[in-house]
């Protein structure tokens, strides 16, 4: 029994469920977090067994995670940034492709909304154009999308 102020170590499954209760994780993210917390007596193969059980019980899903990430971040970021974030989280490219395809608004529509919130008026000088373009590029929007946003007012295509 643990002494006062000490807690008994949680099982890997309990740790995984506690992390998933806070937010969805990709399998790779959750595996990394669990492996960092392995006790010396834990078998590293136990992590994979726990993750398999969570996937079997539908508590862990890369599809659900990818969909949640793209929906939550789509209003602020372009396709390149969203794909990068998913790849960095260990989501497979085909899963990322399906999540990206599910986005309702196109990259151009999203870029126009991000631009309008930040700037609201077309650039008047080449320096201002470059500044606005760099901002949109830093958000992961493609060069073609940036050119279209900065060339016309929303709705003029």
CB neighbours of residue 29 within 10 Å: 18
State the average pLDDT for the chain.
88
Whether residue 146 sits in one domain with residue 111? yes
Among residues 7, 37, 2, 5, the alpha carbon closest in space to that of 19 is found at 37
Position 25 in a domain: yes
| Domain membership flag for residue 1 | no
Domain that holds residue 84: 62-101
Task: Please check whether residues 45 and 71 belong to one and the same domain.
Answer: no
- Please give the tally of structural domains in the chain: 3
pTM score, two decimals? 0.81
The helix/strand/coil state of 80 is helix
The more confidently predicted of residues 5 and 127 is: 127
Query: Is 122 within a domain?
Result: yes
* Residues 72-120 pLDDT 10s: 999 999 999 999 999 999 999 999 999 999 887 789 999 999 999 999 8
Check which CATH number belongs to the domain holding 134 and give it.
1.10.10
pLDDT of residue 41: 67
Count the neighbouring beta carbons within 10 Å of the beta carbon of residue 69.
20
Q: 70, exposed or middle or buried, with CB in 10 Å at 0-12, 13-18, 19+? A: buried
Beta-carbon-side half-sphere exposure of residue 77 (alpha carbons within 13 Å): 17
Q: How far is CA 17 from CA 61, 86, 95, 97, 108, in A?
A: 13, 21, 23, 27, 38
pLDDT higher than 50, residue 155? no
The answer to whether residues 17 and 45 belong to one domain is yes
3 domain-assigned: no
Within a domain: residue 113?
Answer: yes
83 inside domain: yes
30 in a structural domain: yes
Confidence of residue 42 (pLDDT cuts 50, 70, 90): confident
Q: Is residue 38 part of a domain?
A: yes
Higher pLDDT, 151 or 54: 54
Mean pLDDT of the 133-150 span: 96
Taking 50 as the threshold, does the pLDDT of residue 27 lie above it?
A: yes
Looking at the structure, tell me whether residues 70 and 50 fall in a common domain.
no
């Amino acid at each position: 029994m643990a002494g006062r102020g000490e807690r008994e170590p949680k099982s890997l499954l309990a740790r995984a469920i506690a992390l998933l209760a806070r937010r969805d994780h990709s399998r790779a993210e959750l595996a990394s977090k669990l492996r960092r917390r392995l006790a010396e007596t834990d078998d590293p193969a136990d992590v994979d067994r726990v993750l398999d059980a969570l996937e079997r019980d539908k508590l862990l899903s890369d599809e659900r995670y990818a969909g949640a990430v793209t929906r939550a971040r789509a209003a602020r970021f372009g396709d390149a940034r969203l794909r990068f974030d998913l790849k960095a989280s260990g989501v497979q490219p085909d899963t990322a492709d399906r999540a990206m395809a599910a986005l309702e608004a196109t990259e151009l529509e999203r870029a126009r909304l991000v631009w309008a919130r930040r700037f609201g008026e077309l650039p008047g000088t080449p320096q201002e154009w470059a500044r606005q373009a760099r901002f949109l590029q830093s958000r992961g929007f493609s060069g073609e999308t940036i050119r279209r946003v900065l060339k016309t007012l929303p709705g003029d295509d």
